[in-house]
Amino acid sequence: MTIRSLQHIALTVPDAVAGKQFYTDFGMQAKDDSAGKQVVMRCHGRDQDQIILIEGAKKRLHHICLGARADAIKEITQRLEKNGHKLVDAPRESPAEGIWFHDPDGVLVNVRDAAPAPWLPAPEWKINNPGHLNRAGAVGHPPRGMPVQPRRLGHTLRFTTDLDKQTDFYTRIVGMKLSDRAADIVSFMRSGEGGSDHHVLGFIKNDRPGFHHASFEVANLDELGVGACRMLDKGYRNGWGMGRHVIGSNFFHYIRDPWGSLVEYFCDVDYIPADYNWIPKDYPPADALYAWGPNVPDDFGVNFE
């Protein structure tokens, strides 16, 4: 028994109102009781907190929240104690659910008795390709004014000074599974219970810890493209895209938030069934980040914390 989901991430930001506007423009919705120095953002049609913005002196990752069954939490607690990791009190600005502890980079982690909430399904996206006329007699272009509404938080990527130590901690102690990695550049992990996206948590090597990006699933490639164009039209800075990753296979487009971190629209990520014998692969450095798309920007791996 082990981790079953990524529930939410919390960020400390200098201006929660600016953060709320950014994520609203991105297509998310503020929870009704969000106000003042703390804002909770949710995805369209999903009853689950996804991004919590806590006003503070500077932008940083406040904590990540993972979901597990109650008996799995007991097992995680035992593994933490056995390996010299102490439980800590919940921060006063966050609910005191589940267990709280620090990972090897000092980032606060919360594991609570929770499962991912159902997300609003999207209509089937039909495409025509040679030998497969899946959209005969119907136009394929999106309507003007089409809403772009992310369905869920899919994964988060963090900077770390020690890729091996973090990967070992989250697999051996917390209970996630390594999906793939690329040399000493990146590693990607999925939930350990049930089927899972290729990754819900990842790490990228850097000279200090920090938050890299949060990634949100949209319905299809049209929503991904339209959403990115609208964010650029609103004056937000382009991060990187459009392209497709090798590891995970997802299409992507990244946008910079007001503090230099990245937020990603994605669709069509690899899925690993619970009973599938997935063998983790160590990809070459050239495949660490993308299969096709614009060249990787020089600042993609810059830690703005």
- Cβ contact 157:107 at 8 Å: no
Question: Binning pLDDT at 50, 70 and 90, where does residue 176 land?
Answer: very high
Does 125 fall in a domain? no
Domain of residue 63, CATH code: 3.10.180.10
Question: Binning pLDDT at 50, 70 and 90, where does residue 193 land?
Answer: confident
The per-residue pLDDT for range 95-131, each reduced to its tens digit, is 879 999 999 999 999 999 999 999 889 999 999 999 9
Does 221 fall in a domain? yes
Does 126 fall in a domain? no
Helix or strand run (H / E) with residue 76: helix 70-82
Ranges assigned E (strand) in 184-234 = 186-190, 196-197, 201-205, 210-217
Does 133 fall in a domain? no
Cα separation of 176 and 5, whole Å?
10
Q: Report, as an integer, the average pLDDT of 251-267.
A: 97
Does 68 fall in a domain? yes
Does 300 fall in a domain? no
Report the share of the chain in percent with pLDDT over 90: 92
Question: Binning pLDDT at 50, 70 and 90, where does residue 33 land?
Answer: low
Residue 151's pLDDT is: 97
Mean pLDDT, rounded, of the chain: 95
Does 298 fall in a domain? no
Helix or strand run (H / E) with residue 5: strand 3-13
* Sign (positive or negative) of CA dihedral 18, 24, 25, 27: positive
Does 131 fall in a domain? no
Question: Binning pLDDT at 50, 70 and 90, where does residue 37 land?
Answer: confident
Q: What domain count does the chain have?
A: 1
Which residue range forms the structural domain that includes residue 167?
Answer: 3-117+149-287
Q: Tokens standing for 87? A: 């439980």
- The pTM score is 0.96
